[in-house]
């Protein structure tokens, strides 16, 4: 066996990259959405009994969005952005944001598992409320983390709008 055949006969041992889906995105992956490439820097898995849903923190430059993913009867995806929405009572029946009314659709509490930038909330319990407009095309999400209530504005998207590229992790 010659020198070149020894060199070319060596098999490369690269780790196998698992195909990503919206339910298996990992920290360090890249998500292409709306002509931008976002790095996945945080992941929160919410668990309520045996049901779970996931939010991924995506960053592109100074722009931060959240990708929500859950498998109900079918895959449901949404894009959310943090908003400033003063909420005086815990979960009112109706909220108004930018001239549109949103109505309480669901509320409850969940235990969270945080990864990446969200690891500091790992194991905590939180309370949430979901609101939708009359057309069910836009949403407001409230998350109560003890001392503060965080608000996000969102809308549904389809899986074909995303391209997920596995990171180096």
* Number of Cβ atoms within 10 Å of the Cβ of 166: 15
CA–CA distance, 146 with 126 (Å, rounded to integer): 7
pLDDT at 3 over 70: no
10 domain residue, yes or no: no
CA distance linking residue 3 with residue 32, whole number of Å: 44
Residue 72's pLDDT band, with cuts at 50, 70 and 90, is confident
Q: Which pTM value belongs to this model? A: 0.87
Domain count, the chain: 1
**Both tokens assigned to 115:** 């990864």
Whether 3 maps to a domain, the answer reads no
Pick from 101, 97, 37, 95: nearest CA to 63: 37
Q: Residue 86's pLDDT band (boundaries 50, 70, 90)?
A: confident
Residue 151 domain flag: yes
Q: Apex CA 160: angle with CA 157 and CA 161, to 5°?
A: 55
Residue range of the domain that includes 147: 18-165
- Mean of the pLDDT values across residues 163-168? 89
| pLDDT, tens digit (0-9, with 9 covering 90-100), for 104-138 | 999 999 999 999 999 999 999 999 999 999 999 99
Residue 75 lies in a domain: yes
């Amino acid at each position: 066996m010659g020198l070149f055949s020894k060199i070319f006969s060596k098999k490369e041992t690269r780790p196998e990259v698992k195909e990503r889906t919206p339910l298996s995105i990992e920290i360090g992956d890249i998500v292409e959405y709306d002509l931008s490439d976002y790095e996945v820097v945080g992941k929160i898995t919410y668990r309520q009994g045996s049901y779970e849903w996931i939010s991924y923190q995506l960053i592109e430059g100074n722009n931060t969005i959240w990708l929500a993913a859950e498998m109900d009867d079918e895959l449901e995806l949404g894009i959310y952005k943090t908003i400033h929405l003063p909420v005086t009572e815990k979960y009112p029946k109706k909220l108004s944001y930018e001239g549109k009314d949103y109505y309480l659709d669901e509320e409850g509490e969940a235990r969270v598992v945080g990864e990446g930038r969200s690891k500091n909330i790992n194991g905590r319990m939180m309370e949430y409320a979901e609101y939708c407009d009359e057309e069910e095309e836009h949403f407001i999400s409230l998350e109560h983390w003890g001392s503060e209530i965080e608000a996000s504005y969102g809308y549904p998207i389809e899986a074909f709008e995303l391209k997920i590229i596995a990171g180096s992790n």
